Amino acid sequence: MQKRMGEAVARVARKVNDTVENKTDSLDLANCKLMTFPVGIYKAMRSVTEGIHCISLANNELKSLTSRFVTTFSQLRELNLAGNYLHRLPEEVTSLLHLRAINLSRNRFRRFPEPLAAVTTLETIDLEENEITEVPVEKLASMASLRSLNLRENPVGPEVRLLVRPLVPFDLLLSPEKPIPEA
């Protein structure tokens, strides 16, 4: 067990070092078994955080995202948090003024993450395979940049199914309605 943990830590450190040394604009920490975002990364990356535009933390074991993460990586354009255990986002997400795409599929959201509605630059929101039943229809309709909202495999209410063009200027992806069994 400790050997595997050591290997996982070494893999994360390698990926962080590659990003810092090569001054790339992305950080890929997908599939690293992270339960939290390692605090040491903030210090290790402080010289390049402004240049990071894309982060993948997909397929980890994250239960929350901290406000420090959001404020540190303020220039993000893409954020992939698919396949974690998230159920809410910090309010500071609204400060991501360049965020164009966020993938929150395969998490534990029961409601649409309200802070996202205030991110005016968002073009793509992927919330497939969550437990979302409620969606702020009016707020979504006013998101001028939104092009695609994926709510497939969510038990959304019937009011969401009524969102059709020209009411919303984006593609709304839903699972087909299940037929009502006859008595």
CA angle (43 as vertex; 39, 47 as ends), nearest 5: 140
Identify the pLDDT of residue 15: 87
Does position 178 have pLDDT exceeding 80, yes or no? no
CA distance 67 to 54: 17
Identify the pLDDT of residue 4: 66
Q: How confident is the model at residue 7 (pLDDT cuts 50, 70, 90)?
A: confident
Tens-place pLDDT, residues 142-167:
898 999 999 999 998 777 767 655 55
3-class DSSP state for residue 149?
strand
Which one, of 162, 154, 160, lies nearest residue 128 by Cα? 154
Is residue 99 a contact partner of residue 122, using CB atoms and an 8 Å limit?
Answer: yes
Q: With pLDDT > 70 as the criterion, what percentage of the chain qualifies?
A: 89
Identify the pLDDT of residue 122: 97
CA angle (68 as vertex; 5, 34 as ends), nearest 5: 20
Q: Token digits for 60?
A: 């980890």
Does position 1 have pLDDT exceeding 80, yes or no? no
| Span of 18-22, 44-48, 162-166 with lowest mean pLDDT | 162-166
Identify the pLDDT of residue 99: 98
Sorted by where each begins, the domain ranges of the chain are 1-174
Is residue 62 a contact partner of residue 85, using CB atoms and an 8 Å limit?
Answer: yes
Over residues 95-106, the mean pLDDT reads 98
Q: Token digits for 69?
A: 């993460």
Q: How confident is the model at residue 183 (pLDDT cuts 50, 70, 90)?
A: low
What fold, for 1-174?
Answer: 3.80.10
Does position 94 have pLDDT exceeding 90, yes or no? yes
Tens-place pLDDT, residues 117-147:
999 999 999 999 999 998 888 888 889 899 9
Q: Would you say the pTM of this structure is higher than 0.85?
A: yes
